[in-house]
Structure 1
């Protein structure tokens, strides 16, 4: 039994979504449980090393965890969004998808150089978006040394890819497969 099995039990698995062979890990069932969500946030906050200035949440479910973590960690919330969703001047980072390219952005004035940033999202799979977010934050002058996720799909290698870029990576729950 692992220490976060209580949280793992709150995550619903939907087979064959969005396509056959995929086991979709649906966190909405955990979010519906007030105690489960509060416990998740408390455990993520406890796993944070050192003070942080900003919690960067990746669109869209990462926003939920970033905002909730910002309160106990006394930090601001920085939004990392898909292109075209933020008003005002932005900086961008392109990254490869299985078929094509995508782009994430943040406001160009969202952080001051040297700001300590914790990257947060609900799930890490291949790590493409998270790695692009790290590049974007570092390009803006942020110091990004840690990333946290509720769920890791370790067989897809995303957490290891972030570790290869010098980050400490934590997740509360791991599911085998994809």
Structure 2
């Protein structure tokens, strides 16, 4: 099955000149969703994770069922102020400005083997920040995984871990 047939491109979203790759069309097709999760499980399983970390918010849609399929835990990497209890955060640079990502202070045990999961790898800034944040709290980040990679943005070059993606777009 070609998963690209189940990913919709929406031009000029969220702003003019951007082509948004929408996974909602993949999620709503039961067969395509099963195939995507099976392929992702096969790729991620090789890293022997004890925890999957989903990046807000579409990363949650992938990491939670994938963690269940792999028999490992799931934690959330979120925007500021979204997690209860004590949190640890990391500020990171965007193309224009900065952002912050947080995790609950007790979300992962030191030495936990983690794979970071998101729907899309574009410039790599958010994924790199998630990896660094997890490393800062003592996790061993084994890999990063996404359904879609925009290879022309060279995001994987910013990551210091192996990267697994299911479909790539070259422009």
Same fold (TM over 0.5): yes
What is the distance in 2 between the residues matched to 1:150 and 1:66? 11
Instruction: Indicate if the aligned counterparts of 1:51 and 1:73 stay in contact, CA closer than 8 A.
Output: no
Which of 110, 115, 131 is residue 112 of structure 2 equivalent to? 115
Q: Does 1:21 align with 2:10?
A: no
**Residue ranges of structure 2 left out of the alignment (5+ in a row):** none
- Deviation digits for residues 109-159 of structure 1 (CA, Å, limit 9, x no counterpart): 001111000110000000111000000000000000211100000111111
Residue 29 of structure 1: how far off its partner (Å): 0.5
What is the distance in 2 between the residues matched to 1:18 and 1:118? 28
Residue 62 of structure 1: how far off its partner (Å): 0.2
Q: Report 1:1-178 matches (<5 A).
A: 6-48=2-44, 49-162=46-159, 165=160, 167-177=161-171
What is the distance in 1 between the residues matched to 2:134 and 2:47? 18
**Residue ranges of structure 1 left out of the alignment (5+ in a row):** none
SS at 2:145 equivalent? strand
SS at 2:6 equivalent? coil
How many residues align? The count is: 170
SS at 1:94 equivalent? strand
What is the distance in 1 between the residues matched to 2:39 and 2:157? 21
